[in-house]
Amino acid sequence: MGELLQLIVSGTAAGAIYALAALGFTLLWQASGTINFAQGEFVMVPAFIMLFCMSAGAPLWLAFLATCVIAMLLLGVLFKRIVVDPLIRHGVIPLVIASLGLSIGLKQLMRAGYSAQAFPFPSPFPSGHFAIAGAAISYADVGTLLFAAIIVLGLQAFLERTVTGRAMQAVAQNTDAARVLGIDVRRMVLYTFLINAVLAVVAALLVTPAYLAKFDMGDSIGPKAFFAAIIGGFNQTRGALLGGVLIGVLENVVGFYVSPAYKEGVALILFLVVILVRPEGLLGKAEERKV
Amino acid sequence: MSVVADDVALARTRRPLLRTANIAIAIVVVAFALLPLLLKSYGTYLCTLFCVTLMATYGLNLTVGYAGQMSLGQAAFYGIGAYIAAIALKAGISFYLVLPVAAIVCFVVGLLIGFPALRVQHHYLAFATLGFNILVYLVMRNEEKITGGTYGISGVPRPTLFGLSLDGVLAFFWFTLAATLILIALLGWLLRSPWGRAFAALRDNPIRAESLGINITVYTLLAFAIGAACAGIAGVFFAALVQFVEPAPFHFAASLMMLLAIIVGGSGRFFGPVIGTVVIVLLPEWLRFMQNWYLAIFGFAVVALMIWLPGGVLSIPERFALGKVRR
């Protein structure tokens, strides 16, 4: 019993990180129809920027804040201006291909230009465990969960309580109607890219202490972000959260009770089951086909 | 100027070009067949690997270029073919029996993976194949009893042809080249048949194709499964070429390279995979001094290509021709 609780808590913490990456992925899709296959690399790049900042002497919190700003420029504004804007008119596929190219480019640039090694990354939370009902719960897991929860609740509050947030939701739901209502669609889409960049930095901060900073760390996080988004429902923000946590917990349970070797396969199996049984995702609404 | 006029103008310039093109293709093929006579054994190995990869990328071109689907799992089918071949050939089963078996297994697995994905929304195939490739890689690495794990399976025997040994690098190269040409010819025939023309119809305008009575899902699924079967065949040749099979060449990254090869060459163009496969198999060898920078540049080049030349390298002359007509 104790160990199951332990697995669920640490799985939820891991899942919360997947959910952050998935959330950014879903927001981009809703607002601009962008499927970003480089989402995993969007987590890897901030991890290294934070490391560079820290090697320049900055404490972790300062490195985190500086990286948020750099990522907003690099992965938010530049990504949108250079890659997304020219391609989005041509439909989904060219952008998917470009993001695949970007994924290879960023990964190999880090490998060739910097290092192929894995670098340790300091945890923002204290080490150690405490015991509840026979389960050893680590402070890092609790801290990760709390931090992710604050970010997600903050984002939800922004999207639902502020005028800008509601305008962004309007753009996501119906771009044309939003434009008719006088919403600056381009600006709202840009905000979405900025939010995606920040979510990626947060995911990097939380995941890198466990995964280590490595040029190919996105290979594992990226696919889980896509699967979490689809499992939960591609057109629902809450879906990304549910999908992420579900993958995190099931991975842990399967890894412990079935086989640690196949932990990485859990997301795919869950994805296949969900699209067979409930194609629109667990929380998603069926979309009408656009002709 | 209207699109129809463009087509007419293109067709007019094309007819005499077609015969010249056929002769040019024949010359290139013969030159390529004779090339290894001038090369050392590593060069010949690379030429053979080029042919093997070509079988897989031609299959993928059917899925990507003609059925308009994104598949990120071609290397998984390539790997399944290679492992089936390694295990069966070592057990003494005939190469000529292993070949169709690997193709059929990959075809069936392709149907099983493609069905749930294509039933929903077509770009879900990209996610499903991506996950499938990760899973297949895990099986190859972890099921040591069957696959040898990270140590792989070594000592895969090469086949014989009518009692002649194909152990020599040159003999095996010609054997593989012949098989590649046969496969490409079969795909060409398939695409020209009414059945194959339906592929192009569903890529260009799926809704119109559907209203003409083409079942989009069935055709897309078949295109994907045939593409997978081609990768399985390529895998069998790969196992016989390298004589050693391990998980690394079948990683998801390899699928990505194959997909991008199709795009770089020009997706849906019959000779697109040739250009693309040169870029992913031969060019890295020539540009070896660049090491990992090659892939970094390749990645960003794909982004640039999508922005400036989405039709791929083979669309350059056409763009040129259209520009002239328009003027």
The predicted-structure confidence for A201-243, as pLDDT tens digits, reads as follows 999 999 999 888 999 898 888 889 988 988 888 777 788 889 9
* Nearest one of B188, B191, B197 to B274, comparing CA atoms: B188
pLDDT, position A262: 83
Query: How large is the average pLDDT for residues A96-109?
Result: 91
Instruction: Please indicate whether, in this complex, the C-beta atoms of A101 and B306 are within 8 angstroms of each other.
Output: yes
Cβ of B198: how many Cβ atoms within 10 Å? Answer: 22
Please list every residue in chain B whose beta carbon sits closer than 8 Å to the beta carbon of residue A247: none
> For residue A98, what are the contacts with CB-CB under 8 A and spacing of at least 6?
A83, A87, B302, B303, B306, B307
User: Hey, are the CB atoms on B293 and A108 less than 8 Å from each other?
Assistant: yes
Burial class (CB in 10 A: 0-12, 13-18, 19+), A216: middle
pLDDT given for residue B10 in this prediction: 54
- The answer to whether A86 faces chain B, any CB pair under 8 Å, is yes
CB within 8 Å: B128 and A275: yes
**How is residue B273 annotated by DSSP?**
H
Containing A131, the helix (H) or strand (E) segment is: strand A129-132
Partners of B153 in the β-ladder: B245
Check CB contact under 8 Å for A279 and B121.
Answer: yes
Q: Which helix (H) or strand (E) holds A138?
A: strand A135-138
Rounded to a whole number of angstroms, the distance from the CA of A82 to the nearest CA of chain B is 9
| Beta partners for residue A132, in sequence order | A135
B263 and A CB contact within 8 Å: yes
* The pLDDT of residue B3: 47
Cross-chain residue pair A106–B299, CB shorter than 8 Å: yes
pLDDT confidence of residue A288: 53
Domain range summary for chain B, segments of one domain joined by +: 39-255
Spatial neighbors of A42 by CB under 8 A, at least 6 apart, are: A21, A24, A36, A71, A75, A196, A197, A200, A218
DSSP annotation of B24: H
Q: What is the mean pLDDT of residues A148-154?
A: 91
The least confident of A124-133, A280-289, B120-129 is A280-289
In angstroms, the CA A203 to CA A16 distance is: 9
Phi, psi of B312 (to 5 degrees): 85, 175
Task: At A28, list the tokens.
Answer: 């981009």
CB pairs under 8 A between A and B: 129
Give the pLDDT score at B1.
Answer: 39
Q: Tell me, what amino acid is at A257? A: Y
Integer Cα distance of B119 and A281 in angstroms: 14
- Chain A residues within 8 A of B292 when measuring between CB atoms: 108, 111-112, 116
Comparing B267 with A185, which gets the higher pLDDT?
A185
The pLDDT tens digits for A247-280 are: 999 999 998 888 888 888 888 888 888 887 887 7
Interchain contact A271–B (C-beta under 8 A): yes
Could you tell me if B116 lies within 8 Å of chain A, comparing CB atoms?
A: yes
Do A79 and A190 touch, CB atoms closer than 8 A?
no
At residue B186, the 3 state secondary structure works out as helix
Instruction: Give alpha helix (H) positions in A128-236.
Output: 139-161, 163-173, 175-180, 185-211, 218-232
Nearest partner of B60 among B197, B183, B236, B243, judged by Cα = B183
For residue A70, the model assigns a pLDDT of: 93
- Measure in Å the smallest separation between the Cα of B293 and chain A Cα atoms: 6
On the 0-12 / 13-18 / 19+ scale of CB atoms within 10 A, B320 is exposed
Residues in chain B predicted with pLDDT less than 50, given as ranges, are 1-3, 326-327
- Residues of A in Cβ contact (< 8 Å) with B145: none
Closest Cα in chain A, distance from residue B49 (Å): 22
Q: What's the mean per-residue pLDDT of chain A?
A: 87
What pLDDT sits at residue B12? 56
Q: CA A62 → CA A147, B39, B59, distances in Å?
A: 16, 58, 51
User: B127 vs A227: CB contact, 8 Å cut-off?
Assistant: yes
pLDDT at B259: 92
How confident is the model at residue B295, as a pLDDT? 86
Q: What dihedral angle (degrees, nearest 10) is formed by the CA atoms of A289, B2, B4, B6?
A: -110
Interchain CB distance below 8 Å, B301 and A276: no
Check A86 against B307: CB less than 8 A apart: yes
Q: Is B170 exposed, middle or buried (0-12, 13-18, 19+ CB in 10 A)?
A: middle
- Is the ipTM, as predicted for this complex, more than 0.90? no
Query: In Å, how far is A87's CA from the nearest CA of chain B?
Result: 6
